[in-house]
Amino acid sequence: MKLQLIFILFITLGLTGCNKNGKHPVPSIPFDITIDINLPSYNGLIGVGGWTYVNGGSRGIVVYRRAIDEFVAFDRHSPADPNASCEFPLYPDNDNFLTLIDSCNNASFSLYDGSPISNSEYGLRMYQTVYNGSNLLRIYN
């Protein structure tokens, strides 16, 4: 009887514990691309702290170089605008490039880790990145 109760408890927790991620307002669009950061179109990624846009995802992707061998990539679709009604996707703030701005909903997000700074319950939809240590960066989900 105790084993059955424990089994039911684990099943219940497993089905309800990860529910918030399933309700993320930004759609998960299959995406897999490898870019050469040495190409002129991605020269923003040459140095640490640089960023650039990549086509794909729901409303485009912004890629940020956190360290020499560490990159992060986020969808530019704001979680504060689930219907993508805003004409402009997220863009870096001119006064603080580590902040992405949603001009329609006054929401802001961290470019460093995608967390919400203001006016959003959800953080940014993140993509996986793999860097080969030389020039190729794979971005995928």
Return d(Cα 80, Cα 113) in angstroms, integer.
17
Which structure tokens are listed for 13?
């927790």
Q: What is the pLDDT of residue 22?
A: 58
CA distance 62 to 74: 5
Q: Which two tokens stand for residue 43?
A: 């020269």
Per-residue pLDDT in tens (0 to 9) along the chain, 141 residues: 555 544 444 444 444 444 444 589 999 999 999 999 999 999 999 999 999 999 999 999 999 999 999 999 999 999 999 999 999 899 999 899 899 999 999 999 999 999 999 999 999 999 999 999 999 999 999
User: Which domains, from first to last, does the chain contain?
Assistant: 2-140 (2.102.10.10)
Contact call for residues 138 and 54 (beta carbons, < 8 A): no
Give CA–CA dist 137/128, Å, rounded.
Answer: 10
